[in-house]
Amino acid sequence: MSRLTIAIAMLVVCVARRCNSEELTAKPAARDIRKLSQHFIARDDATGPWKFVPAENIARLSTSEHAGVVTIAEAGKGKDIKGVLDAPIKIDDYPLPWEFHLGLIQNYQAMKGLSERQINYAIGLNLAVTFSDPATWPADREQTPPDTHVLQLLVVHLGNVGENYRTGVPRVKGTALNQFDPSPEVYLVYGRGDLAPTANGNWKMNYTWLGFEGSVSGSWSKGEGPANSILRFRTGVLNPTTLQVGVGYGDHAGWRMRTIDVSRFGKMTGIWEIGPVISADRWIPDVLAAELDLDKPPEWLKSFRERLPVEGKSAPTDAALVKRIEDLFKVDPPDPAFEYYVDYAVFYGNGPENFDHLSDEFDVPGFLADQKWYIEGNGIAETYSNPGYCTVTLLGMNGGWAMCPIVSGDGIDLARYKPPFEFETAFIAPDDAIPWNLWWTFNLFDTDGKNLGQGWNPGVQNVPGQGRAFINHFGFDPKRVVASPLLNVEFAEPPPQSLLAAKPLSMLVQVLDDAHLRVGFRAASGDAWRFSQVFDTQKTLGRRIAKIGYPCLASMQGKQGDRGWGVGNYPTYQRFLIDRVRFGYGVSK
CATH number of the domain within which 417 lies: 2.60.120
In sequence order, what are the residues at sequence separation of 6 or more whose Cβ sits closer than 8 angstroms to the Cβ of residue 486?
452, 453, 454, 540, 541
- Model confidence pLDDT, tens digit, residues 13-56: 232 333 333 344 444 456 899 999 999 999 999 999 999 999 99
Q: Are 386 and 427 in contact (CB under 8 A)?
A: no
Query: Rg (Cα) of the chain, in Å, rounded?
Result: 28
- Mapped onto helix, strand or coil, the DSSP state of residue 319 is helix
Among 5-9, 107-111, 452-456, name the most confident range: 107-111
In sequence order, what are the residues at sequence separation of 6 or more whose Cβ sits closer than 8 angstroms to the Cβ of residue 74?
57, 58, 59, 81, 278, 280, 334, 336, 340
For residues 313 and 276, membership in a common domain is answered with: no
The packing angle between helices 316-328 and 299-310, to 10°, is 180
The answer to whether residue 179 is domain-embedded is yes
Q: Where are the alpha helices (DSSP H) in 50-186?
A: 108-112
The answer to whether residue 20 is domain-embedded is no
For every residue of 142-162, DSSP letters joined together read TS--SSEEEEEEEEEEEE---
For residues 312 and 399, membership in a common domain is answered with: no
- Summarize the confidence of residues 62-67 as an average pLDDT: 95
Q: Are 551 and 423 in contact (CB under 8 A)?
A: yes
State the pLDDT at residue 414.
Answer: 94
Phi first, then psi, for residue 309 (nearest 5°) are -60, -35
The answer to whether residue 251 is domain-embedded is yes
For residues 390 and 246, membership in a common domain is answered with: no
Enter the DSSP assignment of 265.
G
For residues 320 and 396, membership in a common domain is answered with: no
- Summarize the confidence of residues 164-185 as an average pLDDT: 92
Domains identified in the chain, total number:
3
The answer to whether residue 483 is domain-embedded is yes
> How many Å apart are CA 557 and CA 548, to the nearest integer?
26
For residues 259 and 224, membership in a common domain is answered with: yes
The answer to whether residue 450 is domain-embedded is yes
For residues 400 and 547, membership in a common domain is answered with: yes
- Residue 411: which pLDDT band, with cuts at 50, 70 and 90? confident
108 has a pLDDT exceeding 70: yes
Domain that holds residue 378: 359-581
Q: Hey, which bits of 81-147 come out as E strands? A: 81-85, 89-90, 98-105, 121-130
The answer to whether residue 6 is domain-embedded is no
For residues 246 and 389, membership in a common domain is answered with: no
- Mapped onto helix, strand or coil, the DSSP state of residue 36 is helix
In sequence order, what are the residues at sequence separation of 6 or more whose Cβ sits closer than 8 angstroms to the Cβ of residue 465?
none
SS3 readout for 441-472: EEEEECCCCCECCCCECCEEEEECCCEEEEEC
For residues 189 and 159, membership in a common domain is answered with: yes
> How many Å apart are CA 503 and CA 371, to the nearest integer?
26
pTM across the whole model:
0.90
- Residue 317: which pLDDT band, with cuts at 50, 70 and 90? low
For residues 137 and 186, membership in a common domain is answered with: yes
> How many Å apart are CA 54 and CA 49, to the nearest integer?
16
> How many Å apart are CA 439 and CA 434, to the nearest integer?
17
The answer to whether residue 154 is domain-embedded is yes
549 has a pLDDT exceeding 70: yes
State the pLDDT at residue 211.
Answer: 93
For residues 320 and 440, membership in a common domain is answered with: no
For residues 305 and 428, membership in a common domain is answered with: no
Enter the DSSP assignment of 348.
E
For residues 272 and 312, membership in a common domain is answered with: no
The answer to whether residue 539 is domain-embedded is yes
